[in-house]
């Protein structure tokens, strides 16, 4: 019968454990659902912005590299122009200029002169070595005069000196002149030897854009994309007009071959990204989804000649949106695409990266899903740990409670009490089991607890009364400092400890005249202010030795002179007026004397030596510190 009762009791315990686990699981699942929703909402937006930021970072090196190239070319054009002007001044005054021109240039057809081929292959002349140079002096209205010869030779020397340093940045370096003249440095093509004899370079937009009639502001410019027939390359040109005294002398110019440049700008940074370069008219310069050969075959592609849907939309966007910012990001402006639009200064191109918004969403959702998965995993782990803890902390204690209750039912109190080794928090069935135990054992346990509580309460009351008596016995009622009794006790303890201490004795300077003239109430207030000041400035005990005399026992490790002077100065900062002093300062001050405490002396000896130092401080004019050496 007893065994069946125990089995029923254990079954109730198991039901309690199961119910507890179910409740914990429900709450945990509810919390993880709420937390997952909040996490997803708060992190998705940030993750999405981070994906876009990473896309921009992918583009940044390429754009910065090419932007730096264009800036470098513009800076080099300034150097080229300055050197040309310097050489031009030299050649105008050099008697050999005409002779050099006549020796180096040959008339290849009526009115057309070219630099001899040897200057392209390589030739030494008077210590100068010329190589990769060619020149075309085409048909012109006026014959070549000495001034023009000086310009041509100056341009030749300038190219020979500077151009080799820039051949990695540009396809070639050249000077063009309004008199239908062009001199070029190029490792790849002897342009001046290949140019058609009837070519008039000022008839074409490149050089024409530098003439005074077309460019009265005399601004440097980047040309549009064009095909250089003699050089057989697609290029753009940067040219800086060079004027002197109102005369257009030449243009310092660079051709930039677009093959590697455009390949760099359109190289895919991510598998599903598309990179497109457009000019301000919306014409296609290059695209990652179109080979450069295809563009070359059809010249620059326009919205009228190329009907690819993405390009059509981007071309209209560039034309109609009137883009001004150097870098902008647009969403859904084109067929569910994220557009990153960057301005390439110099040629005034727009570099546009199109990336599917679906890909942005897919990448942005990864982090929130990872966080949600981590949360679910954490909940599962928590539930497993909870199950283990309940088995250990609940099921086993319930079994122990059942055993104790059974023993109490048999009136075996001693054995029942011996089983109560652990503290058990009773709830539900556990509480019911403990109630039976408490009912049978209450007369013993309640009486014992009541007695213990009474003893503890009385003991605490007695201890508190002793603490209050001790405080009254050792504290000064006026200042809140320790009194003479506490001082004597602590000084004896310091001597007996045999540890190094200093005893400081202090006295408020001319305090009697203060009391006599301001009254004892004012004196008490002043004494209280000084006491409070000392308590605030030191963690050590401060004693009221008697009247206006104060004392401090200071560990020898302290910098005694510095510490005491800090306290003395602190009292001065109170600025308590004392107009009846004989000393110079009309405020209350304090004098201090200190002496080391010896382990083999009496308290009276230590006080006497400290008093002697205090006397020395008074004798020295008060408001000072004297420490026994």
**Helix, strand, coil percent content, the chain, rounded in steps of 5:** 55, 20, 25
Q: Answer left, alpha or beta for residue 428, where phi above 0 means left and psi between -120 and 50 means alpha.
A: left
Q: What is the largest CA-CA distance in the chain?
A: 139
What's the CA gap between 286 and 290, in Å, rounded?
7
> Per-residue b/e over 182-214, b at no fewer than 16 CB within 10 Å?
bbbbbeebbbbbebeeebebbeeebbebbeeee
Question: What is the CA 464 to chain-centroid distance, rounded?
Answer: 56
548 is annotated as an active-site residue: yes
Q: What is the dihedral of CA 83, 89, 91, 92, to 10 degrees?
A: 150
Nearest 5°: CA angle at 524, between 523 and 526?
65
What's the CA gap between 228 and 168, in Å, rounded?
19
CB of 201 closer than 8 Å to CB of 250? no
Q: Tokens for 74, please give them.
A: 């513009």
- Cα distances from 355 to residues 270, 291, 572, in angstroms, run 9, 19, 75
What's the CA gap between 277 and 264, in Å, rounded?
11
What's the CA gap between 59 and 47, in Å, rounded?
19
Rg (CA), the chain: 50
Looking at residue 301, what DSSP letter applies? B
Looking at residue 391, what DSSP letter applies? I
Catalytic residue among 49, 461, 548, 601: 548
Q: Residue with structure tokens 């002396």?
A: 601
Q: Tokens for 16, please give them.
A: 């309690």
Beta-carbon contacts of residue 201 (< 8 Å; ≥ 6 apart): 138, 176, 180, 182, 207
Burial class (CB within 10 angstroms; exposed 0-12, middle 13-18, buried 19+) of 362: exposed
Instruction: Give the residue numbers marked as catalytic.
Output: 548
């Amino acid at each position: 019968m007893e065994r069946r009762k125990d089995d029923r009791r254990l079954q109730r315990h198991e039901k309690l454990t199961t119910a507890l686990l179910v409740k914990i699981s429900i709450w945990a699942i509810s919390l993880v659902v709420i937390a997952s929703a909040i996490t997803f909402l708060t992190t998705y937006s940030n993750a999405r912005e981070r994906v876009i930021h990473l896309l921009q970072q992918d583009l940044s090196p390429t754009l910065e590299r090419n932007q730096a190239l264009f800036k470098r070319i513009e800076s080099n054009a300034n150097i080229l122009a300055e050197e040309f002007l310097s050489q031009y001044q030299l050649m105008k005054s050099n008697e050999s200029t005409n002779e050099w021109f006549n020796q180096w240039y040959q008339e290849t057809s009526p009115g057309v002169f070219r630099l001899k081929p040897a200057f392209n292959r390589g030739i030494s002349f008077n210590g100068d070595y010329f190589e990769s140079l060619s020149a075309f002096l085409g048909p012109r209205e006026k014959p070549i005069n000495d001034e023009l010869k000086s310009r041509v030779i100056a341009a030749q020397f300038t190219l020979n000196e500077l151009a080799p340093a820039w051949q990695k940045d540009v396809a070639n370096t050249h000077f063009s002149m309004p008199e239908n003249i062009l001199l070029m440095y190029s490792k790849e093509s002897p342009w001046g030897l290949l140019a058609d004899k009837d070519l008039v370079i000022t008839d074409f937009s490149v050089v024409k854009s530098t003439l005074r009639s077309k460019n009265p502001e005399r601004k440097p410019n980047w040309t549009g994309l064009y095909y250089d027939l003699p050089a057989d390359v697609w290029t753009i040109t940067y040219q800086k007009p060079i004027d002197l005294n109102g005369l257009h002398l030449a243009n310092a110019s660079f051709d930039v071959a677009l093959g590697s440049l455009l390949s760099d700008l359109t190289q895919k940074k991510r598998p599903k990204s598309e990179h497109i370069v457009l000019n301000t008219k919306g014409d296609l310069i290059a695209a990652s989804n179109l080979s450069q050969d295809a563009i070359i075959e059809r010249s620059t592609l326009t919205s009228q000649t190329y009907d690819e849907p993405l390009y059509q939309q981007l071309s209209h966007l560039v034309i109609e949106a009137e883009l001004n910012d150097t870098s902008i990001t647009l969403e859904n402006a084109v067929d569910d695409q994220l557009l990153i639009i960057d301005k390439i200064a110099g040629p005034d191109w727009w570099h546009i990266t199109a990336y599917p918004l679906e890909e942005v969403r897919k990448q942005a959702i990864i982090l929130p899903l990872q966080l949600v998965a981590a949360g679910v995993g954490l909940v599962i782990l928590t539930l497993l740990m909870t199950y283990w803890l309940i088995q250990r902390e609940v099921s086993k204690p319930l079994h122990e409670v059942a055993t104790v209750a059974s023993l109490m039912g048999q009136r075996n109190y001693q054995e029942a009490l011996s089983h109560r080794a652990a503290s058990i928090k009773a709830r539900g069935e556990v509480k019911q089991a403990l109630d039976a135990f408490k009912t049978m054992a209450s007369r013993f346990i309640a009486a014992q607890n009541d007695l213990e509580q009474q003893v503890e309460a009385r003991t605490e009351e007695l201890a508190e009364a002793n603490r209050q008596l001790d405080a009254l016995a050792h504290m000064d009622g006026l200042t809140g400092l320790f009194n003479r009794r506490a001082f004597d006790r602590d000084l004896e303890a310091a001597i007996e400890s045999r540890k190094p201490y200093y005893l400081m004795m202090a006295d408020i300077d001319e305090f009697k005249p203060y009391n006599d003239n301001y009254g004892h109430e004012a004196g008490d207030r002043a004494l209280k202010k000084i006491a409070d000041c000392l308590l605030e400035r030191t963690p050590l005990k401060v004693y009221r030795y008697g009247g206006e005399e104060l004392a401090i026992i200071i560990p020898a490790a302290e910098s005694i002179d510095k510490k005491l002077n800090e306290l003395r100065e602190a009292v001065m900062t109170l600025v308590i007026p004392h107009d009846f002093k004989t000393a110079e300062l009309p405020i209350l001050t304090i004098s201090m004397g200190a002496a080391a405490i010896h382990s083999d002396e009496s308290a009276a000896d230590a006080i006497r030596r400290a008093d002697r130092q205090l006397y020395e401080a008074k004798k020295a004019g008060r408001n000072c510190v004297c420490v026994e050496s």
